Amino acid sequence: MNLQLENKIVIVTGGAKGIGESITRTFAREGAVVCIFGRNPEEANRLVKACAAEGQRVESYHVEMTDEARVRTAVAEVLEKHRRIDIVVNNAGGNDAISLRNTPAAFRDSLEKNIVQCFSLIHYTLDALIASRGNIVNIGSKCSVTGQGGTSGYAASKGAMNALTREWALDLGRQGIRVNCVIPAEVITPLYERWLAQAPDPKAAREQLDQTVPFERRTTTAQEIADTVVFVASPCSSHTTGQLLFVDGGYVHLDRACTQPTSHLKSS
C-alpha cells in the first residue's frame, strides 16, 4: 500500500531510539523527511547516517524538549529549511517513577517532561500544521487508563495526553487537522531490556512478562507501534481523528483471566 507520505515533513520527538527510532525509520522508508527532535545528538546522528546509507532523509535537531525557547527556534529552523510541517509525533518522555512520596516540585517537573513539552511543540507548530492541514500523533501509555503504581507524574501526564488528543481533535478539526493517540502497553525497548537485566533471572522475567499479554503471549514490538503511527498519520487514514488506538495485544482490555495457564480456566 502506498501511504502517500513522499516528501512529507515529519517531526518526531525522541526519535533516535526505542519506539521513536522505529517510528523514524518507518516514516523514512515511506519517503518522508523526518526531523528528529532530541537531546542526544550522537544517537540521532548515527541514525541519520544509517538512514542516509539507505537513501532515506532523516535530520537531527538538538532539542531539550523542556526548553521552550529551543523548541521554538528548532521549529523555526525546520520551517526555514522546508517551508512546511505536515506531521508531528509527540513521542519523547519517560516513566520517571515520580510517586506520592516525591515532592510536589518533582511532580511538576515530571509534568513538564511528559506533557507540557507536548503542548509547547504543538503551540509552535500550529500555524504550519494549519497551513498543511497536517496531523498530530501522540504516543501514550497503558498507565493512562490502568494505573501502574508508584508513578503519579507519568500516569497523570499520559492521562492528560489522552484528554488532549480529543480536545485537540475537536479544536483543530475545523482546520482539517487530525489528532490521534497510539497507546502501547508492554514494548521491549533498550530501557526495558536494561530493567529486565536487573532481575535475578532475566530470562524468566521476560517469559513472565510475555505471559501477561493475551494475544500470542508476547510483548508488542516497537515496529508494530511504528506501523500504526505511520498508517494513522497517512492520508490512508484520512477520516480517523480523536482516537485512542491501543496497540498492545489485548493487554488493557481483555480479561486478566486469559493470561493464566489454560489448565486453570473453566469452560463456560
Domain ranges of the chain: 9-188+221-256
Of residues 124, 154, 192, 251, which has the active-site annotation? Answer: 154
The Cα 159–Cα 81 span in angstroms is 35
Tell me the CATH number for domain 9-188+221-256: 3.40.50.720
Q: In whole angstroms, what is the distance from residue 137 CA to residue 90 CA?
A: 6
In the residue annotation, 154 being an active-site residue is answered as: yes
Sheet of 33-38, strands arranged across: 57-62, 33-38, 9-13, 87-90, 135-139, 178-184, 244-247
* pLDDT at residue 262, rounded to an integer: 56
Tens digits of residue pLDDT in 198-233: 989 989 989 989 999 999 999 999 999 999 999 999
pLDDT digits (tens, 9 = 90+) for 180-193: 999 999 998 877 88
Strands 57-62 and 33-38, sheet pairing: parallel
Angle of the 190-197 helix axis to the 202-211 helix axis, nearest 10 = 120
Report residues of the chain scoring pLDDT below 70: 261-268
Whether the full predicted model's pTM is greater than 0.85, yes or no, is yes
Q: How far apart are CA 118 and CA 17, in angstroms?
A: 18
- For 236-258, write each residue's pLDDT tens digit: 999 999 999 999 999 999 987 77
* Signed CA dihedral, 165, 171, 172, 173: sign only: positive
Cβ-Cβ contacts under 8 Å for 200 (sequence gap 6 or more): none
